[in-house]
Structure 1
């Protein structure tokens, strides 16, 4: 039952976030038909519902796991390193004037790709494969689509700075340390370094 709930949540959440992947005009057409507020309302409700179902379904599936493979211990260390890069990419979305965002254009999507890959490598249940595999496939398709319609970023002043880039790395490393050492256990119930 947990797997069915998880899959339903993934379809709702990723489906709503994939509307513009095949065709940018699809999203524009939906907004034109329904109006911006109605579209946003439907988008928000379905996304939140999907996310709740993902969290609940994954939690239920973990209670009675179906093991597909047993990851070697080394994959935990590889995942931890990948998560460091994912956190830096995530920080690049929010720290202003950094070269990482200027160069990669879509650091959030790349952060999701790295996060999903890291967790696919270090987890071997069917629920893990469904969850992280779905997010990885979605992020790959979204990144490819976003690159096709990419509009060069504009910066005020001189553009990205070394200070902005260094702050991005510092924020990313600190976030990784807090999450790996404490928050992952609090939110997920698993310590990345003690399994």
Structure 2
């Protein structure tokens, strides 16, 4: 289970970091804009709650779930997601709910945690320094999947980023985020 052994520490660190960002969001920030044009802070946290719930279901061999209303329990959902993925059988075969190999699903989850953690931190004025190994994994995966991601609406049009920019900034640009985004525009 090399994929599990390689990926679980990255998934756990990215999830814990994003959960820490979520916990630090103040009530008055819930209506603030985020780098995801279609989400304010509350919508983005709700999206993260759904991501956690869906990837837990997928890891347990269940269906793709529909997004419910904001619940304010992302850290708890994320713990259940990691518990589901910590089982070796979660890494076997193909997701019935998504039709993709489970190793691809795990990398999709990692990209969500790394990028949405930044989105939320940037929107709420928090420091965010993603794990370099998680960024490298996310970059390698995203470079392979970017066109499919755009077709499915997961990624936006690319944002030009200098070739010598930090690797994380290049990842943000590839998936359609402006690394220089601020809540003030």
Larger Rg: 1
Give me the TM-score of the superposition, normalised by structure 1: 0.29
More helix, by proportion: 1
Instruction: Give the TM-score normalised by structure 2.
Output: 0.30
